[in-house]
Copies of this chain bind each other. A is one copy, B any other.
Amino acid sequence: MSLISNSLTRVFKNVAVTAAACLALVATGATAADKVYRLKLAETWGPNFPVFGDATKNMAAMAEKMSNGRLQIRIDSANKHKAPLGVFDMVKSGQYDMGHSGSYYWKGKVPNTLYFTSMPFGMTPAEQYAWFYHGGGMELMEQVYSPHNLMSFPGGNTDIQMGGWFQKEINSVEDLQGLKMRIPGFAGEILAELGAKPTNIAPGELYTSLERRTIDALEWVGPSLDLRMGFHKIAPYYYTGWHEPGSELQFLVNKRTWNKLPEDLQEILRVAMRTAAYDMYTQATHESGKNWVSTVSYTHLTLPTIYSV
């Protein structure tokens, strides 16, 4: 090989090396800035579930738009994952990255999870948010969920809930004896003490359970959601509430998933969950107001002596 040919070869090699380095640089730049993180979320609710389901969709849409598409959250409803009350386990194990559910559904696993939804005669929504964010609530929630490889965040407030739908009038403690009622959380424990038989049932099975008399009564939410569930067609008595003055749903995040996200996407996810939670409270207030008139016209709406403490 001649000297000239040698030096030409070197030059060509240089061009190739420069071009390769250049492409690598562009590619690296693209990877760091544009890597797409795809997360899967399991929700306790069925598909297109009003208000609760809107909260997950709202959260995912904000996260995607704020991240310019770098954070994509796929939502699987209960019809897909078939385990509406298995969300805790599925996010803990990493089968899902995220969940949307209610903390008090896990009282059988960890009794302290009760406090992060609502407690009878407890806090209003505004008081509860104040407690979460300024009164040490988030820190206590972290203590409860961290050993399970989970992070938990407020997931939307229903505002004060109605006491529930009953087939028969309740006038005394005697009327509660043996009454099979869907009522989760600490309120269920109280009703058990009074002689009722409380149980929890996934939202998708509530209507048929009450219709087929598998249960005698149920509480679900309030005017914001109950009319759309059709309970007024199959139970004439609707009592005011005492048991959940401001029920807060829950976003769950698998800790390993969280730790894999870059800091900006962690903040985008945190803020998207926080806003979606507040937004659900706002939406529930709106829906309750809108539906209140028709609720009253459909039902016997009274406050029985047993509930006036």
| Inter-chain contact A62/B15, CB cutoff 8 Å | no
Secondary structure of the A side of the interface? helix
Q: Which B residue's beta carbon lies closest to that of A28?
A: B26
Interface contact B263-A65, CB-CB below 8 Å: yes
Within 8 A of B (CB), among A249-272: 262-264, 267-268, 271-272
B8:A285 contact, CB within 8 angstroms: no
Q: Is A178 an interface residue (CB 8 A)?
A: no
Question: A1 at interface (Cβ–Cβ under 8 A)?
Answer: no
| Copies per assembly | 2
A186-217: which residues lie under 8 A (CB-CB) from chain B?
none
CB closest residue in chain B, given A133: B282
Residues of chain B lying within 8 A (CB to CB) of residue A129: 281-282, 285
Q: Which residues of B contact A18 (CB under 8 A)?
A: 15, 18-19, 22
Which residue in chain B gives the minimum CB-CB distance to A125? B126
Among B11, B68, B263, the residue within 8 A (CB) of A8 is B11
A268 to B62, CA, bound (A): 8
| Chain B CB within 8 A of A81 CB | no
A66 proximal to B (CB < 8 A): yes
Q: Are A65 and B264 in contact (CB under 8 A)?
A: yes
Q: List 30 A-B contacts (CB under 8 A).
A: A8-B11, A11-B11, A11-B12, A18-B19, A18-B22, A21-B22, A22-B22, A22-B23, A22-B26, A29-B30, A33-B34, A62-B271, A65-B264, A66-B66, A66-B267, A68-B262, A68-B263, A68-B264, A125-B126, A126-B285, A129-B281, A130-B282, A130-B286, A130-B289, A132-B282, A133-B286, A135-B286, A271-B272, A274-B275, A278-B278
Q: Which 4 A-B pairs have the closest CB atoms?
A: A22-B22, A130-B286, A134-B286, A68-B264
Known: A25-B26, A33-B33, A66-B271. 9 other contacts (CB 8 A): A8-B8, A11-B11, A14-B15, A18-B19, A29-B30, A33-B34, A68-B262, A134-B283, A271-B275
